Amino acid sequence: MKIEIKKSIKPIEYKDALSFLEKRLLLIGENKANELIWVLEHPKIFTAGTNYKENEVLDKSISLVKTNRGGKITYHGPGQVICYFVLNLNKRSKDIRKFINLLEKVITTTLNEYGIKSFTDPKNIGIWVKHESKIKKVAAIGIRVRKWIAYHGFSINVDNNLDNYKSIIPCGIKDKGITNLKLIKNQNYSDLNDKIIKNFITYLKN
């Protein structure tokens, strides 16, 4: 299993990252490149997946980038860890639900290492926690599969500015909140990227 691990220190523009993923997707399809796991951060941006609706944009002045990933509208920005991937499911189980379960396990296992109990919701994709007596989202997942090659990724809120979510209905969900790791448990998350990669590789090998 040859997977390139890429860790970007400086923020990467969303469109640049997407272009890189698309190129890698084509190369993997032609067996000309290794699979990829890429951890990074984006400057402030709102992105809309293929299932979003116009009424989920509350502040019409924001700049919105439409993308071909699944899911609805979300926010990316400083203080949020993004984990992108390009992984060939032709070499694994051709089961999208199983692959999403793998991503969920990567996130919940990683958060558990920080003493944070998180869980999935059968009705709403993503990872959730019970914080301040309310169910709140702490991680979002959005993928696309082309010729059984999965790409895009997931994001985990670490210490991002949650006020930005007031401009949208995040992931189209009105009755649940958004939180981040620092608010749940104020501790050092500097090794979060390494833990994500470690757990990702472990579950891919299983």
* Structural domains of the chain, ranges and CATH numbers in brackets: 3-205 (3.30.930.10)
Q: Active-site residues: which are they?
A: 171
- List Cβ neighbours of 12 (8 Å cut-off, separation of 6 or more): 40, 41, 42
Profile the chain (206 residues) by mean pLDDT over runs of 10 residues.
Answer: 93 96 97 97 92 88 87 92 98 94 98 98 92 92 95 97 89 78 98 98 93
Distances (CA, A) of 46 to 61, 66, 159, 166, 189: 11, 9, 17, 12, 24
Rounded-to-integer distance, Cα 50 and Cα 196, Å = 26
- 3 phi and psi angles, rounded to 5 deg: -125, 125
> Which pTM was predicted?
0.94
